[in-house]
Amino acid sequence: MCVTAASQATPPATLRLSGEGPYHRLDLPMAWQVLSKCGDLGDLRIVGSAQQSLPYAWMDVPDRVAFEQSSDLPLFRWAGPRAHNRSATSTGSASSPSSSTWPAWVLDARGVDGRLQRLMLHLPSQAQGIYAVAVEGSNDLQHWFTVHDVVQLTSLSHQGQRLQNEVIELGGVSARYVRLRLLPGSPEPKLSRATLVSSQTAQPMPAWSWSGRISPTGCGAGYCDYTVPANVPLGRMKVHLVQANTVWGVTVSGQPSIRDERSATHPSQRVDRSLRERLRTVREKSREDGTASRQQDPHAGWFWVGDGQVHWLQQVGQSSRSDELMLNHGLYRSLRLSMVGADERWTVSPPDIQVATWMRSLVFLARGPGPYRLSWADSKAAPSALTMAQLVPDTAGRGLAEPGRAFLPDPAPQVPPMTGATAAQRDKAPPPSDTWGGVPAVWWLWAALLLGLGLLAYMARGVLRGSTIAPK
């Protein structure tokens, strides 16, 4: 969603290219994101020297990456009741009417993250035999499910050659405990230890891009307000505490930057309904418990954005700080910082804050002569970004190699006040252009007006004197 109100036009920024093309990657920090009039940067354009729009695609979140980790676990010997048939095990029964016992080994996998892929057993080097075991999993040591009915472990040697099979594939099963049950008729192996290999998938996230320090625009009874970039989804806040040995509970409320029916009821466009319902439930529970940290601000138009605790502790030779809070990635024009359990005199010398959003990255296809520029389209223009699959056809499975790089000018242009420039940015901004010779332009205009009035009076006096009629 874009802001349709008129705003100051931002001149295009010339990009500096390095590396091989034709694809180039461009990182867009917050200082440039705030120049957009759209929360999703839909008005961003990459243009060539002839002002032709170049195709680009966002590459914010890389593909999920799978990785494995190994954990050495002890084997616990367990003598349990023998299952009288295979169905007793496969149906999850932990016991049977038989009074006989059978040996088993149990691994505690509660400390293993991810799904279980392989179990590597370690038999003694002098072991000789083929051992048949059943592999089972459980989450409570009471109800077991079958992973493998029969697995044969092998440790044989003949004429200096050795045949070993000590690895059991688990296939990505999820279980807190793993049991190896020796099957009837099989010799008992002497297991020394076991290694459990698990896998997880991780999704690398982009880096945070932080604003400069933002001073409060005003403070009331127990709160301070801050003007923030209006069209940037905010995911982090840093509170710069003024005094050491301070511990505060913090509640953050926000005024949505776009006031329509959707934003008035759902200020964050990136938080789904189920998450909002969970957050609302937590806030209501906290109210019942007497905790004010998650209560919605009583003033109309303010919505809960985040909460937590910040501190700055200074002890002998040591300093401990915790000053970052998670926000809900909403679009806000103002944030309100309320301190829970703090003396209201803190508003006399309130803290500055910083806010952060994701570092946005895109890849564009350079074609035609340069230079290439970053520009912003009209707020009513439709988004022009492609998907990565559309921008980079996967020819022969090769996909996109390492692209070249594109760099924006440094520093970024000054942010107009309506987009949430900080007080420090406004103080460092160059003098306004409506001064001539150090004298405000309005004074020159008044002087010109008075001079014009004096000239008109002089001309009128001359005309009246020349039109006097002599007596006959």
Same domain, 30 and 158: no
Same domain, 344 and 453: no
- Would you say residue 467 lies in a domain? no
End-to-end CA distance of the chain: 83
Measured CA to CA, the distance from residue 358 to residue 372 in angstroms comes to 24
Please give the pLDDT value at position 240. 92
Same domain, 227 and 290: yes
> What is the domain extent for residue 100?
66-202
285 — phi, psi (to 5°)?
A: -65, -40
Name residue 258's beta-bridge partners: none
- Would you say residue 430 lies in a domain? no
Query: 224: burial class by Cβ within 10 Å (0-12, 13-18, 19+)?
Result: buried
CA-angle at 333, arms to 217 and 283, nearest 5°: 100
Measured CA to CA, the distance from residue 197 to residue 210 in angstroms comes to 39
Q: Name residue 449's amino acid.
A: L
CA-angle at 306, arms to 331 and 333, nearest 5°: 25
CB 356 within 8 A of CB 228: no
Same domain, 354 and 214: yes
Query: Which tokens sit at 465?
Result: 């004197």
Name residue 354's beta-bridge partners: 238
- Would you say residue 33 lies in a domain? yes
Same domain, 117 and 258: no
Residue 182, SS3 per DSSP: strand
Nearest CA to 88 among 135, 173, 142, 145? 145
Task: Give this prediction's pTM.
Answer: 0.54
Same domain, 54 and 189: no
Measured CA to CA, the distance from residue 287 to residue 408 in angstroms comes to 48
Measured CA to CA, the distance from residue 119 to residue 165 in angstroms comes to 11
Buried b (16+ CB within 10 A) or exposed e, 25-40: bbbbbbbbbbbbbbbb
- Would you say residue 372 lies in a domain? yes
173, 202, 231 - which closes a domain = 202
Residue 45, SS3 per DSSP: strand
Measured CA to CA, the distance from residue 41 to residue 56 in angstroms comes to 12
Same domain, 86 and 192: yes
- Would you say residue 149 lies in a domain? yes
Nearest CA to 106 among 146, 135, 126, 127? 135
- Would you say residue 257 lies in a domain? yes
**Per-residue pLDDT in tens (0 to 9) along the chain, 472 residues:** 565 544 456 778 899 998 887 899 999 888 888 888 877 788 889 988 888 889 999 886 555 667 788 888 888 887 765 544 444 444 344 443 343 567 888 989 988 888 898 898 888 877 788 889 999 999 998 899 999 999 888 888 777 777 778 889 988 889 999 999 989 888 888 887 789 999 887 666 678 889 999 999 998 888 999 999 888 889 999 999 888 888 888 899 999 876 433 444 433 344 334 444 444 444 444 444 433 334 444 456 888 898 888 888 888 778 888 889 999 888 898 999 998 766 777 888 889 999 999 888 899 988 888 789 998 887 676 777 888 888 887 654 555 677 889 998 876 665 444 333 443 444 444 444 455 555 566 677 778 888 888 888 888 877 777 655 555 4
250 — phi, psi (to 5°)?
A: -125, 135
312, 329, 358 - which closes a domain = 358
Please give the pLDDT value at position 94. 42
- Would you say residue 219 lies in a domain? yes
Residue tagged 């010398």 (tokens): 349
CA-angle at 437, arms to 435 and 439, nearest 5°: 55
Please give the pLDDT value at position 310. 87
Same domain, 135 and 169: yes
Same domain, 114 and 219: no
358, 373, 406 - which closes a domain = 358
Measured CA to CA, the distance from residue 274 to residue 294 in angstroms comes to 17
DSSP result, 261-323 = HHHHH---TTS-HHHHHHHHHHHHHHHHTT--TTPPPSSTT-EEEEEEEEEEEEETTEEEEE-
Q: Name residue 446's amino acid.
A: W
Same domain, 156 and 23: no
Residue 142, SS3 per DSSP: coil
- Would you say residue 1 lies in a domain? no
Please give the pLDDT value at position 252. 93
223 — phi, psi (to 5°)?
A: -150, 160
Same domain, 21 and 106: no
Q: The CATH number of the domain where 257 resides is what?
A: 2.60.120
| Pairing verdict, β 218-220 and 223-227 | antiparallel
Measured CA to CA, the distance from residue 349 to residue 366 in angstroms comes to 51
For the chain, the domain total comes to: 4
Residue 452, SS3 per DSSP: helix
Same domain, 216 and 341: yes
Q: Which helix (H) or strand (E) holds 141?
A: none
Measured CA to CA, the distance from residue 96 to residue 83 in angstroms comes to 5
